[in-house]
Each structure stands twice: as structure tokens, then as C-alpha cells.
Amino acid sequence: MSASARPTAPAQTVAVAAGEMALDALRVAGVELTGPHGAVVVRDADGVLRDLAWAPDSDAEVEPVAADSPDGLAVLRHSAAHAMAQAVQELYPGTLLGIGPPIEDGFYYDFLPSRPFTPEDLTAIEKKMGEIIKAGQLFVRRPIDDDAARAELANEKFKLELIGLKSTATGEEATEVGAGGLTMYDNVDAKTGERVWTDLCRGPHLATTRRIPAVKLMRSAAAYWRGSEKNEQLQRIYGTAWATRDDLKAHLNRLEEAAKRDHRKLGIELDLFSFPDELGSGLPVFHPKGGILRRELEDYVRQRHIDEGFDFVSTPHISKADLFYTSGHLPYYADTMFPPMDVDGIEYRLKAMNCPLHNLIYQSRGRSYRELPLRLFELGAVYRYEKSGVVHGLTRVRGLTMDDSHSYCTAEQAPGEIRKLLEFLLGLLRDFGLDDFYLELSTRDDSKPDKFIGSDEDWAQATAVLEEVARESGLELVPDPGGAAYYGPKISVQARDAIGRTWQMSTVQLDFNQPARFELEYQAADGTRQQPVMIHSAKFGSVERFIGVLTEHYAGAFPAWLSPVQVIGIPISEEQNGYLDDVARRLRARGLRVEVDDSADRMQKKIRNAQRQKVPFMLIAGETDADAGAVSFRYRDGTQRNAIPIETAIDEIADTVARRSNSSPTAELYG
């Protein structure tokens, strides 16, 4: 999830002569170089980000990258991570360095200090960072060969390990090393030219620390080196940096609001789910109220699939490992699968996805073109070995339930089927109150052919089909180069929640490769055997993640139709318990979820308890109400309606739930 950065303006290109610094060319061209819209790096013709001090070997065209653009913010945050690491080593000599990449809305750096960091340490580090930033130190790139890097970093054991990974580093490690030569980034005193501090890094970086206008350290946490529990435990400091102080302030305000909506906190307060240590990281259990939420979601999505022409199927949780070699998940997805199990001398795996097993259902008998599209759907439990550092509540778990569907169709049917699926999943999100979204098209990274399977022609065709359908939708389409699964490109829906954060939700993927690997066929109208194409789609993504997102979107105040408890009866005195019990029976007869608080608490405490539990309808009854066959409505916002006849009250509640209204009930709405 993220808060959106400033939209990227139309690209401006600047000519840079051979041997000329990009910075000088930008100055001559009159490009803004200060403030949030000022350039902090440039992008060359190959899309590579370069320092402003970069001088090309031959004439080049570059695009200035502003500080408040997504790429500019990533560079700013990476440079802030360096300033933080420098501050740590100055304050706590002997602290070893791990990695320090930019991340969404911020940055972190991993350290091995002599003791864990305290909140007071973070205050001191941030103060030292301010001194470094104010000094205007220069970031200077310095190429270095492997042996020289090992000699210079002889006391930094984690950096030495990264040097050995140079050609295979991926993800956040790739901010330090990657394919090609190594580079150091020196922090240089602007007045004396003296090297003050240095780090192994690929860059690029800001020209000077003064271009870090707004930074704040957020917290420290334990983290395993390179995300593996088998490795040494380090201390990770998280920070955030922005192009203006106002942007930083707005971000901190968003975080404050997000903290109130944190589904992990609300899950406990509302008694929805928990994460018992006895089970292990990323393995939630749902309590009765959370079970109601799951049931509502699962019943909804199951029926919607049936209505859309899907057949419900079920597959086991484990399989022989050979199946995943056939599908290609092994070796391409191996890092995200749990280790193998030996059963009677045969290697088994927990399934991390449902598609290979659905392929076996398709393959179980001969298929005719008359059956296509063949649509299979499953609420399938899968297991993914997420690294401990990325497991997060319900939004990143190790055991999850996917509302997984696979459509098998002819190549000619694929565009129409994708349109149908896209309409399906957008309608689903709207039904749950998520109606602000855009599309992202994830494609293959042609520079990493070993990460993907299939022919160039199949990839080009699949990508073209998805892009055409996405553009027809009229929604904003954002490219995501390199974000495709190993077997095919995908469209994902990025939905914004009530406070503007973006969450990746539903996906549609077009796959020519698995049908080929499983040798799937159908008999065409002319009697020949043809290969179908396969379309993967997940509407919720996973049930767990969707519940986490909805909990934060609604801050736990779910629409009445989703609320685990839809109505609570609150008697003013014990004498009204029986009256409200009878009202509750009538409500249950209409399929509504209702409780009566017959505890010994005073009425006002009962109301406060109901409001804390975010129950949409409170029915209060005293002696006068009971005599009149009426109740008083009280709503979440504190508004109230009095002396409402019981039949009217029941009809209003039942109608609200039946309409699946996502608006929270209020007195004004019903007055």
C-alpha cells in the first residue's frame, strides 16, 4: 500500500554532450534544480537513472527526474538511508552495516550494533543526521574492483558477503551490488574534499545531503540478515523522507490515521482474529466474529462465480513435488514455497498455488471446443514461505485462502473472457465499497530472460491482449515492467481506501505456458487437437488479505450487511430483557445477527461497549418502549431516533442489510 506521489509530468529531454556533466547540461537548459520539482537525477535513453555528476562517453539525451516524482523520492530516500548509516557509525563506532534500501514511503538500514537501539538512540541519530544534512556533504560515486572493495571493507562482514553475491543479488540487496562492476559512494566534505564516510552502493544518489529537506526516523526493529531466520539477527531502523516538510507532515498525519485503522489492533479489539505464537508467524486463526466475516465473503464470491458460469472444484493442500516442476513453479517459485516433505521416499510440497491442480482436472478427460471456455473456481488454501521481515497481519501471511479461478479457452475467446473477468472483479470491489481504483499492467523484464518461461511471441501476444482490454475499460493504466509472473503478464487492480492508500487487489493473468507444459488439448471444430490458453484470476486476491484491507478501509465499522453483530439490544433495566429477547428472536427469523446485552452494566456503559464494538444498530428499550411495542434506535455516530414501532425497526434493518448498503446507518439517513 502507499500514498500516491505527485503525478509525473510530461518528460522533458536535455542533450548532454560527451564528457559533459549532466548537471551542467541541465543548468544550461534552464532545468529547475532546487525545491520539490527540481531535478535530483537524470534518466538516460535506456531508462537507467544516473547521478547529476554523470558524464556520458558519447552524446546523450536525458530526462530530468524531479525530487517529488516516484523515482526522485526513491533516490532521496536512498540518500537519507546513507546519511542515517553515517550518523549511526559516527555515534556508535564499531556498528556493522547491512543493507539500506529505499522502500515505499521511506527507507531502512540494517545494522549490527553492540546493543539494540533505544528510542533515545533514534533521537540522537536523527539529530546527527540533521548535522550531516546541514553540512551539505557531496555524494561521490567511485568505481572499485572486487579485491579493492574487499580490502576497503575488510571489517564489514555483511558487505563482504554482498560482494560475493554481486551477479546474483536481487530485490533490496540489489541496491548495494548487482551485475557489473562495484561502486562505492563517498560522502565528501564540500569544503575540504575529504572523504567523511563511504558505503558499497550502486546508486544513484542526490548531489548533496542538502537536497534532503524533510526526514524523520520512525522506529527500530529486529530483522534477520537477508530475511532468513537462519542468519544473524540485526537491528533495522526505519525512516521516512519527503521532498517538502509539508509532504512529511501530511505523511505523518496519514500514519496517525492509519494507526487508528490498523487491522491487527482492530482484530483484537473486535475479537475477529489472532496470531497465536504456538502456530507460527503468518498463520492467523479466525474467531467466531471473524468467521462470520469470512463466511460472508466466501458465500458471496462462491455464488458470484457460479452466477458467472464457473464450476466449483476442490483440490488437496499437498502434492508430489513433480507437479510443480511440470508447472514451472519449481524452480521459478521455489523461494516462496515451503521446504519439501519426504513421504515414503517421495518428495511432497505444500501447494503455493492452485493452478497446477486445476490443470489436472482439465486433463482428466478429453475436451471439446464446445466446452470452452471451461471455467473452474476454488476457495483453495495455499501456503507461501514469506520471509519473516515481510509477514504483516492479514495482508501478508503464510497460510491463505485464494478465491482462485482458471478459465480455459481458445486464443480467439481470450479477449472476451478477460473483459468478462475484469467486469466481474471491478463489480465485486464496488460491491464491497472499494470504488476508487486504477489498473496496473505487469510485463516481462526482457533483461532477465532466465526469470521467465515461454516464447517472445507468446509473451507479446498475451501482453497485447491484456493491454487492449485494460485500455478499453477507460481506467487509468500504469505500466509495471518486470512485475509479471514467470509464466505470463497480468492486470492488477490497485484500489484506494478511505484514507487514500493504494492496495493491490484483484488480478487477471493470461498464460500460454502452463497449457503447453501440461500438454493440455481440446478437439477443435475441424477435428484437430489444439492447445487452449489459460486465464488466472483472483477476485479478493486472498480472503485473509481482503478482510485486512476492508477492516482498515472501514476502520472496523463494517457495513451492516458485513458486520459480525448487526443489531444489539440494550435494555434500560433488567425488566426489559425478556422484551428485547423477543425482539431478537423476530430479528433472527429475518436472518439478522443480533445479541442482547443483558449484563449487569448500566445502560450508558452498554452503549459505550456497543459503540466500541462498532455495532451498526443499537435498539434501546425502557418501560415506555416495551409498553408501546417500540424501541429507540441509536447509531454508531451517536444519533438517535425514539419510539420506533418494532415492525418498522425490523423492516428498516432487514432492508438495509438486504440492499447491501455500504453507508453507515444514521438518524439522518432514516429520519
Residues 286 and 195 in one domain: no
- Kindly report the CATH number assigned to the domain that includes residue 181: 3.30.980.10
Structural domain includes residue 542:
yes
Domain with 19, as residue range(s), is 14-69
Residues 419 and 456 in one domain: yes
DSSP string, 204-227: ---SBGGG--EEEEEEEEEEEGGG
Per-residue pLDDT averaged across 22-34, rounded? Answer: 96
Q: Are residues 343 and 359 in the same domain?
A: yes
Q: Are residues 326 and 431 in the same domain?
A: yes
Of the candidates 600, 595, 601, 602, the residue with the CA atom closest to the CA atom of residue 619: 595
Q: What amino acid is encoded at 309 in this protein? A: G
CATH assignment of the domain containing 604? 3.40.50.800
Same domain as 396, residue 304: yes
DSSP 298: H
Do 430 and 392 belong together in one domain?
Answer: yes
- Select from 527, 528, 524, 490 the least CA-distant residue to 509: 490
Q: Is residue 120 part of a domain?
A: yes
Same domain, 56 and 97: no
- Amino acid in the structure at residue 339: P
Return the percentage of the chain with pLDDT > 90, whole number. Answer: 90
pLDDT value for 140? 97
| Of 227, 257, 287, the domain-final residue | 257
Residues 219 and 338 in one domain: no
Whether residue 90 sits in one domain with residue 53: no
pLDDT in tens, 134-166: 999 999 999 999 999 999 999 999 999 999 876
Residue range 34-45: mean pLDDT, rounded: 96
Contact 593, 562 (CB under 8 A): no
pLDDT tens digits, one per residue of 403-418: 999 999 999 999 999 9
pLDDT digits (tens, 9 = 90+) for 569-604: 999 999 999 999 999 999 999 999 999 999 999 999
pLDDT, tens digit (0-9, with 9 covering 90-100), for 3-15 = 444 434 445 899 9
Average pLDDT along the chain: 93
| Residues linked to residue 23 through DSSP beta bridges, in sequence order | none
Residues 294 and 430 in one domain: yes
Let me know whether 313 and 359 are in one domain: yes
Q: pTM of the entire structure?
A: 0.82
Give Cβ neighbours of residue 657 (< 8 Å, ≥ 6 apart).
560, 561, 566, 591, 592
Query: Counting beta carbons within 10 angstroms of the beta carbon of residue 431, is it exposed (0 to 12), middle (13 to 18) or buried (19 or more)?
Result: middle
Rounded average pLDDT over 428-450: 93
Q: What is the mean pLDDT of residues 273-279?
A: 95
pLDDT at 11: 59
Number of domains in the chain: 4
Rounded-to-integer distance, Cα 428 and Cα 341, Å: 38
Judgement on whether residues 48 and 194 belong to the same structural domain of the protein: no
